[in-house]
Amino acid sequence: DAGVTQSPTHLIKTRGQQVTLRCSPKSGHDTVSWYQQALGQGPQFIFQYYEEEERQRGNFPDRFSGHQFPNYSSELNVNALLLGDSALYLCASSSGWEQFFGPGTRLTVL
């Protein structure tokens, strides 16, 4: 049984560009959450998707948007990239209270 998978593993972009990150949840999980983790910090909640709807959002600007598909997979889109968006982006899936994380996507903005 595959766990949470994310793609790509690494990504390098320049300021002003747009990026799309992808996540496939663990089998049987219907909820996907996205987190941003800067170096040396704990993960910060971006938003959570359930039944293809964004149902909770953290303190992130509208440049961060997402989508959940009928098969429960999800995308995170970031527009107009800033240097400060460089981080490890983590996807977590759940079907109850416990969230299981994927390996993350390392985004570097130059």
Partner 1 sequence: EDQVTQSPEALRLQEGESSSLNCSYTVSGLRGLFWYRQDPGKGPEFLFTLYSAGEEKEKERLKATLTKKESFLHITAPKPEDSATYLCAVQEGEGSTLGRLYFGRGTQLTVWP
3-state SS assignment for residue 83: helix
Nearer to partner 1, 51 or 80 (CB): 51
Member of 78, 81, 90, 107 binding partner 1 (CB under 8 A): 90
Query: String of b and e for 5-20 (b: at least 16 CB within 10 Å)?
Result: ebeeeeeebeeeeebe
Q: How far apart are CA 53 and CA 86, in angstroms?
A: 26
Among 29, 104, 107, 109, binds partner 1 (CB under 8 A): 104
φ, ψ dihedrals at 79, nearest 5° = -100, 160
Q: Please work out the total of residues on this chain that contact partner 1, with binding judged by CB under 8 A.
A: 28
Site string for partner 1, 31-70 (x = CB under 8 A): x-x-x----xxxxxx--x------xx-x------------
Give the residue with the Cβ less far from partner 1, 16 or 54.
54
Token code pair at residue 28? 């049987």
Fill in the amino acid letter for 88.
Answer: L
Edge-to-edge strand list for the sheet holding 19-24? 5-7, 19-24, 74-78, 64-68
Tell me: does residue 25 bind partner 1 (CB under 8 A).
no
Q: Which residues contact partner 1 by CB under 8 A?
A: 4, 6, 31, 33, 35, 40-45, 48, 55-56, 58, 88, 90, 92, 94, 97-104, 106
